[in-house]
Structure 1
Amino acid sequence: MNTAITKNGLHAQAIRTAFGKTTVLHDVSLAVAPGETLVLFGPSGSGKTVLLRAIAGLDPNATGHVTIAGRDVTTAGPEGRSIGVAFQNFALYPHMSARENIASPLRARKLPEREIDEKVSAIAKLLKIDHVLAQQPRALSNGQKQRTALARALVGSPKILLMDDPLRNVDAKLRYEMRMELPRLLRRANAAAVYVTQDYREAMALGDRIAVLIDGHIVQLDDPERVYAAPASVAVARLFGDPPLNLVPCRPTLANDGLHVSVFGLDLTLSMAGALAGREAMLGLRPDSIAIFADPQPGAVAATIAAVTPLHGKVVLLLRTQAGDEILASQVGRAPETGSTIWFRPETDTALLYDTETGLLAGEARTATEEAA
């Protein structure tokens, strides 16, 4: 484990939580350095909020160890952990103004009134809510409530900052703006930050690293580019990308010039090791790595456009071959008409190969547990 993280950041080790006979977290470990944002990403029900509550000292059922800045706080309550928390449900005190909500952690520390006013004003200006400080939560918009909760979490300069999907309830425009603004705010706070989201785009935009949590296990922990380019399992691959990764059944064979797969009637050569040669596998192809042609081309397959869907400045095409195989492709520009014939060719430079039996990426040697330790 990185000694800088141990001395100055957050280290959660072997966190386990069960409700009755159901285990929600299975010995989860992670470490976050000061100034780093670790995004905890996963589907609903995977245990993300439960893990945050365990780190914050809010879950009496949790076992394991939590160390903050080199101090074991496993037995300490939330007030003894120097943690700032922002939840998606805002959790603002309804009888207090926005100013008093933000000031509440500073008052708990009995700071001088002048210092409290200065800190509250500074963070409110930074988050562009200084004009609503006198209002109570019921008079605030969802975006203003969220920024008030975030200001309250940040104002005390906590060593650890936990954010539970804080942008989920704000409108799309503000969410986009905050995705750009938050990284700067978090770097300025220099806290070890854990940010929960179910949105892979948000995870990519905000995370220095991403921990993918599925069914109470961290199944991949890496930088955003790596998680997107090489999902460690089929389960992760299905969560990253819109449209999602194409997964095409195949049985690779090894030849002198490399690993070969036969899909859509094409023989493709892959630039990867032959670990899965002769085994049932799935070829992973990103929709944007499917080249589209209006006319026949060498090495291209004819297909009918079964459906066209506009998406984020692109069009997504559902292609169906004469053999009945289907594949998703995406392209920028005007969409061909549904029912028309086009030709496509998979580009193999970014192709992935998964073991059908285990669901794991070929050649994936490191485990998430090893990376987190």
Structure 2
Amino acid sequence: MASLELRNVHKRYGSGLPDTLKNIDLKIESGEFLILVGPSGCGKSTLMNCIAGLEDITGGEILVEGSDISGMSPKDRDIAMVFQSYALYPTMNVRDNIAFGLKMRKVPQEKIDEEVARVAKLLQIEHLLTRKPSQLSGGQQQRVAMGRALARRPKIYLFDEPLSNLDAKLRVEMRTEIKLMHQRLKTTTVYVTHDQIEAMTLGDKVAVMKDGIVQQFGTPQQIYNDPANLFVASFIGSPPMNFIPLRVQRQGGQWLAILDSGQARCELPLTVADDAALEGRDVILGVRPEQIVVGKGDVGLPAVRAEVDVIEPTGPDTLVFVSLNDTKVCCRMAPDLAPQVGESLTLQFDPAKVLLFDAQSGERLGAQPAERPRNVAQFKGR
């Protein structure tokens, strides 16, 4: 196990071209599980390759246990990588695929046999050791690829979108296997994915990336409850956060936000950390579907009535869609409480959960540089 720190890492592929990675600063402690998440082309796989040594960085430092490994070759970094494509040797059986890295390091055969047996038992592939990769399912091949990395007992594991080639059911099963494996081994792990469900369920820490920049770094709950900007708020969460354009007006020293469903409207007094934050701005209100109270759950909360446009049963939940400020808004409800299309509902907003964003920059309004408060915007009932 080892700590991993990236200091001002940037990567450029050619003179005069823009940086692919821009001033990346991240640190995880020994034994932590870091998720690099973001859309395709955001730079997460490039960053992974730089950590592994498969690509050189243009500037900055990559530190393992405080020592700079930026100039080391991949074989000297003591880092094992599991690729998206598995990269198994088709002519070798499972046993030899797992043992290959150990043989290249001239590990004694007795030790190799011991490690192969340990890894096969850990991943429950003991019955597959004599098979070739072509005789294995996608999930079995993924286990073998993981086993080859585990057999080395490296300081750090790197996973590059390892589940993206699997079907939905198998992805869920393998996600659980990877989490259980990390809980048993406690090896420092960096995991690249574009799947925000994987990011939320697997990671101790999550770095959300876009355009080669880390948009936010923190625990899954911090990123979910306290997103730094519109991009993070929209990327993390399923179904995604609702974004409602607001008409705000100042009245008697108080900012008011107007929500209009077409059949009713309400004026919601806003409280922000900086009273001038709303001056001259187009504002977007962010609220997650499960944070909208359907029905009169609290007489102290402001409410607006709206007509149900669409319902989507998902099994454990039913998603209910209405229109507010000419914008589709999703509410999450228990199936037995779900309304019918055309029915009128009362919607209330939890003051502690509502967020405000600048419509132009996408940044949170009222967030402080050192610590972004969870209660950026508060609605006060009338």
Say whether residues 1:343 and 2:346 are aligned partners: yes
**Map of 1:178-189 to 2, 5 A cutoff?**
178-189=174-185
Task: State the TM-score, normalized to the length of structure 1.
Answer: 0.88
Structure 1: 5+ residue stretches without partners: 369-373
Distance, in Å, in 2 between the alignment partners of 1:366 and 1:138 is 53
| Residues 139 and 367 of structure 1, relative CA distance in 2, 3 Å threshold | farther
The equivalent position to 2:317 in structure 1, one of 294, 307, 314, is: 314
Q: Which segment drifts farther, 157-166 or 263-272?
A: 263-272
Which consecutive aligned stretches of 4+ in structure 1 deviate over 4 angstroms post-superposition? 251-260, 269-272
TM-aligned CA distance change 1:367 to 1:273, over 3 Å:
closer
Indicate conservation of the 8 Å contact 1:248/1:282, yes or no.
yes
Task: Return the alpha-carbon distance in structure 2 between the equivalents of residues 38 and 256 of structure 1.
Answer: 48
Determine the C-alpha separation between the residues in 2 that align with 1:206 and 1:16: 26
- Structure 2: runs of 5+ lacking an equivalent: 372-382
3-state DSSP class of the match of 2:309? strand
CA distance in 2, matches of 1:258, 1:123: 64
* Alignment match of 2:13 (pick from 12, 19, 31): 19
Cα pair distance change 1:366/1:148, threshold 3 Å: farther
Question: Which one-letter code corresponds to 2:317 in the other structure?
Answer: K
CA distance in 2, matches of 1:222, 1:269: 31
User: How far apart are 1:310 and its partner, in Å?
Assistant: 2.3
2:52–2:74 CA contact under 8 A, matched in 1: yes
Partner of 2:380: none
One-letter identity of the residue aligned with 1:267: E
Select the residue among 37, 40, 53 that pairs with 1:44: 40
The whole-number CA distance in structure 2 between the counterparts of 1:324 and 1:220 is 30
Which stretch shifts more, 174-183 or 115-124?
Answer: 174-183
CA deviations 1:205-253 (Å, max 9, x no partner) are 1110100011100010011101001111001111011221111222667
**Aligned pair in 2 of structure 1 residues 97, 281: CA closer, same or farther (>3 Å)?**
same
- Comparing 202-211 and 93-102, the one that deviates more: 93-102
Residue 328 (structure 1) aligns with: 330
Question: Contact 2:102 / 2:112 at 8 angstroms: preserved in 1?
Answer: yes
Answering whether residue 191 of structure 2 is matched by residue 195 of structure 1, we say yes
The one-letter amino acid of 1:340's match is E
1:70-109 to structure 2, matched below 5 A, reads 70-109=66-105
Q: Which residue of 2 is the match for residue 301 of structure 1?
A: 304
Counterparts of 1:227 and 1:120, CA distance in 2: 39
**Would you say the 8 A contact 1:36–1:187 is kept in 2?**
no
- Give % identity: 36
Is 1:10 aligned to residue 11 of structure 2? no
1:371 aligns with none
- Would the aligned equivalents of 1:208 and 1:223 in 2 still touch at CA under 8 Å? yes
Report the counterpart of residue 152 of structure 1 in structure 2: 148
Instruction: Report how many residues are paired.
Output: 360
SS at match of 1:266: strand
Q: Are 2:196 and 2:236, in contact at CA under 8 Å, matched by a contact in 1?
A: yes
1:143 aligns with 2:139: yes
> Distance in 2 between the 1:324 and 1:81 partners?
55
1:256 is displaced (CA, Å) by 10
Report what 1:289 is aligned to. 291
Whole-Å Cα distance in 2 between the matches of residues 145 and 10 of structure 1? Answer: 28
The alpha-carbon distance between structure 1 residues 154 and 260, as it changes in their structure 2 partners (threshold 3 A), is farther
Structure 1 distance, partners of 2:295, 2:282, is 30
